[in-house]
A and B are shown apart, each in its own frame.
Chain A
Amino acid sequence: MEKEQIERRIEETLKSLDGIRRVPVVPGFHRRVMERIQQQRNGEGLKPVFVFRFAAVCTMIIGLNILVCLHYHKAEKAYTGAALQAFSSEYFKNDIFAY
């Protein structure tokens, strides 16, 4: 019985949009559209918020690149120095060293 009642309510709900009427827009709609078009024309180009965001992202990318480059050079220098030292010490202490 309860199930039947629920099914009936479902069908009623699905039919609740029958006979729906169109709602008119608020008067002056065209004027507001034209105002927005005008605003868009005047503010053509980029909004300050977007310029700021774009600049922030660019700065971050450039900064990261510089950091990575500096770190890489440092690491490379350290690596080259240590590697050379290890190589020379290994080379000179070896017994088979002869002219």
Chain B
Amino acid sequence: MVNAEEEDDLLTEDELILKARSGDEAAFKELVETHQDRIFNTAIGFLHNREDAEDIAQEVFMAVHQSIGGFHGTSKLSTWLYRITVTKSLDFLRRKKRKKRFAVILRLGDLQDDKPGYEPADFIHPGITFENQERAAVLFKAIDRLPDHQKTAFTLCHVEGLSYQETSEVMRVSISSVESLLFRARQNLREYLRAYYTHER
């Protein structure tokens, strides 16, 4: 059952969308300010770089501004925003991987100057407590190696703190699929971490 306060929130969101759809810039500003942290943090969870994450978060809202007319409210606004963020973040990572591969080929052919690599240094998430920062950096490195679906499920659940239900809505899969993706993600992470800590000794 939806209580009165939640109903009020729902109405506000609907009104906001309607106003933003009609070109009301103040409504769009409110929409951005309501969701900017959530989008920025999701992007950080994927990209592990503050500047890249801000860039992607801006692109998400540019896409929203352009296509809000196509949003019919079949899902929650936040779900839609998460979906755009995940797609854009994964696209960014693919582009980065392609660039890196191309740079390696160029370097093999000695066609490029000796510039520092594109790979960012070990990522320290600014929202993690000091005592966990070192371990989290290792974990983020391991998350980077996961396949896209497992990475998405793990990031949405454990970095963004979404429930299985919310994650399944964002990913458009069943809850059991999310559970299975998370199970496989944890297995893969354990394997990577085992190799990492064994090698470290």
Contacts and interface: CB of A to CB of B under 8 A. Distances in A.
A33 to B, nearest CB: 5
Contact of A37 (B65, B125, B193): B65
B37 A24 contact: yes
Interface residues of B, number: 39
Interface stretch (B87-95, B114-122, B134-142): B134-142
Interface in A29-45: 29-30, 32-34, 36-37, 40
B139 A30 contact: no
Contacts of B194: 6-7, 10
Nearest to B161: A20
A9 B138 CA distance: 11
Nearest to B41: A22
Contacts of B186: 14
Interface stretch (B9-17, B28-36, B103-111): B28-36
Interface secondary structure of B, over-half rule = helix
Interface residues of A, number: 27
B84 to A, nearest CB: 13
Contacts, number: 88
B137 to A, nearest CB: 9
A82 interface: no
A22 B38 contact: yes
Given A20-B128, A22-B127, A23-B44, A30 B29 contact: yes
B27 to A, nearest CB: 12
B37 to A, nearest CB: 5
B118 to A, nearest CB: 20
A9 B201 CA distance: 12
B132 A16 contact: yes
B38 A13 contact: no
B88 to A, nearest CB: 14
Interface in B149-201: 158-159, 161, 186, 189-190, 193-194, 197-198, 201
Given A25-B54, A25-B57, A33-B62, A19 B37 contact: no
Given A6-B194, A6-B198, A14-B186, A21 B58 contact: no
Contacts of A90: none
B159 A20 contact: yes
17 contacts: A9-B193, A16-B128, A16-B132, A16-B139, A17-B132, A17-B158, A17-B159, A19-B129, A22-B37, A23-B50, A25-B37, A25-B54, A29-B36, A29-B57, A30-B33, A34-B25, A37-B65
